[in-house]
Amino acid sequence: MEYTCSHLICFSPTRSSHLIGEKIMYGIGSERTDKTDLTYEGLRKPLRIRNEIVVIAVPVYGGRVAATALERMELVRGEQTPAVLVVVYGNRDYDDALLELKDWSVAHGFCPIAAGAFIGEHSYSREHFPIAAHRPDGQDLTEAVDFGRKIRHLVETGAEGWGELVVKGNYPYKVNGPKTPQTPQTDQAVCTLCGFCSEICPVQAISVQEERIVSSAEACIKCCACVKQCPVHARIFNTPYTEMLFQKFSARRAPELFFPQR
The per-residue pLDDT string of the chain (262 residues; one tens digit each, 9 = 90 and over) reads 789 999 999 999 999 999 999 999 999 999 999 999 999 999 999 999 999 999 999 999 999 999 999 999 999 999 999 999 999 999 999 999 999 999 999 999 999 999 999 999 999 999 999 999 999 999 999 999 999 999 999 998 875 567 889 999 999 999 988 877 789 999 999 999 999 999 999 999 999 998 999 999 999 999 999 999 999 999 999 899 999 999 999 999 999 999 998 6
pLDDT confidence of residue 216:
94
Q: What's the CATH superfamily of 5-172+250-258?
A: Flavodoxin domain (3.40.50.360)
Half-sphere exposure in the Cβ direction for 66 (13 Å, CA): 29
Is there a contact between 86 and 20 (Cβ–Cβ < 8 Å)? Answer: yes
Position 159 scores a pLDDT of 52
Q: What is the location of CATH 3.40.50.360 in the chain?
A: 5-172+250-258
pLDDT at residue number 13: 98
Look at residue 179 in the predicted model and tell me its pLDDT. 78
CATH architecture of 185-238: 2-Layer Sandwich (3.30)
All CATH 3.30.70.20 domain ranges of the chain, comma separated, are 185-238
